[in-house]
Structure 1
Amino acid sequence: MRLNPYGEDAVNLAAALANRRPESADELADRCRAAGLTLERPVTADDLDRARAALNAWERVVDAAGEQERADLLNRMLAEAAAYPRLTSHSGTGWHLHYRDAEQPLGSVLFTLFAVGTALHLAGRGMHRLRRCEVAECDTAFADTSRTGRQRYCSQRCANRDAVRRHRARAAVT
């Protein structure tokens, strides 16, 4: 079974790029290839600028105050990014859906991937499943892909750090 490429991988790529922004078009291309994207044309400075705009919009969705604000911001991204869905088979990847026009530059592809992938993630798993780490000194954004939907930390390292902090605070009181 082939899963939708706009789902979990797309929202995780958005988080990875938002948390450590690419500094050049070459770095953006390398990180997208490493994430499994097929690049159909050279990556340019314009692609980097468009990717940065997509990440800025995506982070506003992450930081939204509530579900309605999150939906409104994401709907704006979708309106700007997505075209009608279409079946496509390119680069030997097999038939799948695209929510964008064909032959778009990477920056536009990323904008669409982030918008549609995040929308599918939130609609399918819950509107609360996009957040920032609860450790005070960590600002990392992440998509909650846990089975229970209660992920509070971006990593096991942050979860452990917070557990140690809580333990020490309890020990200091007693």
Structure 2
Amino acid sequence: MFSYDTRSALASAADLVNTAPDARTERPERLPDVAALRAFVERWGWTGPIPLRDDELDRVHAVRRVLRGLWDLAGDEAGTVDLVNRMLRDAAVLPQLVRHDDWPYHLHGWNDATPIAERFLAEPAMGMVDVVRAGALDRLRRCAAPDCAGVLVDFSRNSSRRFCDDGCNNRLNVAAYRARRA
């Protein structure tokens, strides 16, 4: 349904949103320092020179709140379009066709001098253009686990993904099993 770079941009955006602390579920901050941010950047394979400093971490936390808005607005097409357009403007997106590492040609909305916070804003915004055009806002979901505040993007063929990760899925399955056995 979506290209690899769109799936990657949106999956990394969901992962970034899910690094936020949540008082309701007692989930701790998963990006507390620059070292954690560097590990996140490396895990998702962001390329180019990426200088990371404490002030960049603050900007990434701010971008994370903006990205959360994509899930908060899921189902509200007009609101989502307004947010995506604002994200594209704020990140000063200038799409470029690029090829690097083992990737085929794909779009980047930034250049090597762009700070990581702006990249984190630009890539999901460009991916959301595809989601809106495909009429697939229902693919942005909140985790179905009642004790989780996580978000996900459902890329499954039959639109059946309900949990942000296997941990939430397994917890509910174990709880259901124990309830049946009781």
The DSSP-based 3-state class of the residue aligned with 1:128 is helix
Task: Look up the equivalent residue of 1:132 and give its one-letter code.
Answer: R
Within 1, Cα distance between the matches of 2:167 and 2:106?
36
Question: By how many angstroms is 1:143 displaced?
Answer: 0.9
Question: By how many angstroms is 1:82 displaced?
Answer: 4.2
Q: What root-mean-square deviation, in Å, do the aligned CA atoms of Structure 1 and Structure 2 show?
A: 3.0
CA deviation profile, 1:109-133 (whole Å, cap 9, x unmatched): 1221232233334544711111111
1:80 and 2:90 are equivalent in the alignment: yes
Q: Note the 1:118-157 alignment, pairs <5 A.
A: 118-124=128-134, 126-157=136-167
1:14 and 2:20 are equivalent in the alignment: no
Within 2, Cα distance between the matches of 1:90 and 1:65?
33
Within 2, Cα distance between the matches of 1:29 and 1:5?
23
TM-score (norm 1): 0.78
Within 2, Cα distance between the matches of 1:42 and 1:65?
33
Identity of aligned residues (%): 32
The DSSP-based 3-state class of the residue aligned with 1:97 is strand
Task: Look up the equivalent residue of 2:120 and give its one-letter code.
Answer: L
How many residues are matched?
Answer: 170
CA deviation profile, 1:74-125 (whole Å, cap 9, x unmatched): 2221222242322335678664322224521222112212322333345447
Question: By how many angstroms is 1:139 displaced?
Answer: 0.9
Runs of at least 5 residues in structure 2 that lack an aligned partner in the other structure: 20-29
Q: Are the counterparts in 2 of residues 88 and 96 from structure 1 also a CA contact under 8 Å? A: yes
Corresponding residue of 1:104: 114
Task: Look up the equivalent residue of 1:12 and give its one-letter code.
Answer: A
Q: Are the counterparts in 2 of residues 4 and 97 from structure 1 also a CA contact under 8 Å? A: no
Corresponding residue of 2:169: 159
Runs of at least 5 residues in structure 1 that lack an aligned partner in the other structure: none
Do the aligned partners of residues 70 and 103 (structure 1) sit closer, same or farther apart at CA in structure 2, a change above 3 Å counting?
same
Question: By how many angstroms is 1:40 displaced?
Answer: 0.6
Q: Which of 73, 77, 82 lines up with 1:64 in the alignment?
A: 73
Which one has the largest radius of gyration?
1
CA deviation profile, 1:50-71 (whole Å, cap 9, x unmatched): 2112111110111116332223
